[in-house]
Amino acid sequence: MRHQPAGLIDRTFPYWSLLPAVVVFIVLSLYPLLNLLMMSVSTYRFEGGVEHTTFDPMANLRYFGEDPGLRPAIVNTLIFVFVAVSLELAIGLALAITVSRVSRYKGLIRTLIILPILVPPVAIGSMWRLMYNYDFGVFNQFLSVFGLGPVNWLGDGRFALASVIMVDVWHWVPFIFLILFAAVEGLPSDVVEAARIDGARQAQVTRYIVLPLLRPAIAVAFTFRAILAFKTFDEVFLLTSGGPGTATELISLHLYKVFFAQNNLGYGAMLSVTVILMVVSFLLVSRRATQGGKEA
């Protein structure tokens, strides 16, 4: 460490602890963010290898009304995010509390549980598609043992979205688990022990002491999981490409088709902004809902 009076380092601690992250982040995020906002109010044309930009927010807005793919994409995304994230939160939280009470092999169990997030998303999509296969897939093989099925997991509009959600839950429960498990492990043990001595039963300890203390961690896990869920792309793209019909069309898939496949940068950027607005509203509504629940 530099030989300086400890006082100076200590006095400036609030600043030098904050600044590096903020500087790196601003430098690398400012241009893409401004660029995105610019794109969303412009139309683009390439000529002679040069980009021509026209400021024309109305042109992009007009697409909203004329885009038949938008409504199913928004509806499906909301269902997908709500169901998938709720399931993940419930399972992840229950797992975190259960595993924290295990006395042996805790490390091993934790490693096993996080395996799904280590598999590259492209492999998850391709492998689950095989597992869902109508003729050869492991699920229909399993069902046939009991004389059931076969189920048309990805080809039937009634099951396709649920099948996609199932993959998402498998993939992302580890995310919630990791955060909440750390939060449970980080709880001051004396609090919990004290409660136990008072004769509180396990369920009551969980309900009235552990859960309230976990609130900040749950909120962050929920928030970040919800954000990622709104952006879900790779797995769905490889599993169904949004079909059959529009059964699994998500906003991120739609954005990909417009921004990337059609190379419509202006409207694509506007869809990107739409995703942001959807996430913000979703987070605000869920915050209102949970706080309302708390008051009740």
Site for another protein in 253-292 (CB under 8 A): 255-257, 259-264, 268-269, 272, 275-276, 279-280
Cα–Cα nearest to 237, from 128, 152, 114, 157: 128
Residue 85: CB minimum distance to another protein, A:
15
Among 90, 211, 220, 284, binds another protein (CB under 8 A): 220
Report the site for another protein in 73-102 (rule: CB under 8 A).
Answer: 91, 94-95, 98-102
Alpha carbon distance 278, 79 (integer Å)? 13
Which residues 150-189 are close enough to bind another protein by CB under 8 A?
150, 152, 154-157, 160, 170, 173-175, 178-179, 181-183, 185-188
Q: Say how far apart CA 225 and CA 218 lie, in whole Å.
A: 10
Among 103, 145, 146, 199, binds another protein (CB under 8 A): 103
Local structure of 54: helix, strand or coil: strand
Helix (H) / strand (E) containing 164: helix 160-185
- Contact yes or no for 256/29 (Cβ under 8 A): no
Cis peptide before 68 (omega within 30 of 0): no
Cβ closer to another protein: 294 or 296? 294
Only segment of 79-87, 250-258, 288-296 that touches another protein (CB under 8 A): 250-258
Name which of 31 and 289 has its Cβ closer to another protein: 31
How distant, in Å, are the alpha carbons of 57, 139, 169, 178, 228 from that of 79?
30, 24, 14, 25, 14
Tell me how far, at minimum, the Cβ of 160 lies from another protein, in Å. Answer: 8
**Distance spanning both ends of the chain, measured CA to CA:** 53
Dump strand ranges (E) for 171-271: none
198 binds another protein, rule: CB under 8 A: no
- Contact positions with another protein (CB under 8 A) in 4-23: 6, 9-10, 13-18, 20-22
Could you give the string, one character per residue 44-63, with x where binding to another protein holds by CB under 8 A and - elsewhere?
--xxxxxx------------
Instruction: Identify which range of 78-86, 221-229, 287-295 contacts another protein by CB under 8 A.
Output: 221-229
Helix and strand element counts for the chain (H, E): 15, 2
Residue type, 56: D
> Which residue of 74, 78, 79, 114 would you call a contact of another protein, by CB under 8 A?
114
Smallest separation, CB 267 to another protein (Å): 10
Q: In what helix (H) or strand (E) does residue 43 lie, and over which residues does it extend?
A: strand 42-47
| Piece of the chain touching another protein by CB under 8 A; list 73-81, 82-90, 215-223, 288-296 | 215-223
Interatomic CA distance for residues 288 and 111, integer angstroms: 35
Among 53, 56, 64, 122, binds another protein (CB under 8 A): 122
Scored b (16 or more CB within 10 A) or e, 178-198 reads bbbbebbeeeeeeebeebeee
Q: Which stretch binds another protein (CB under 8 A): 66-74, 81-89, 284-292?
A: 66-74
Q: Which is nearer to another protein, 126 or 286 (CB)?
A: 126
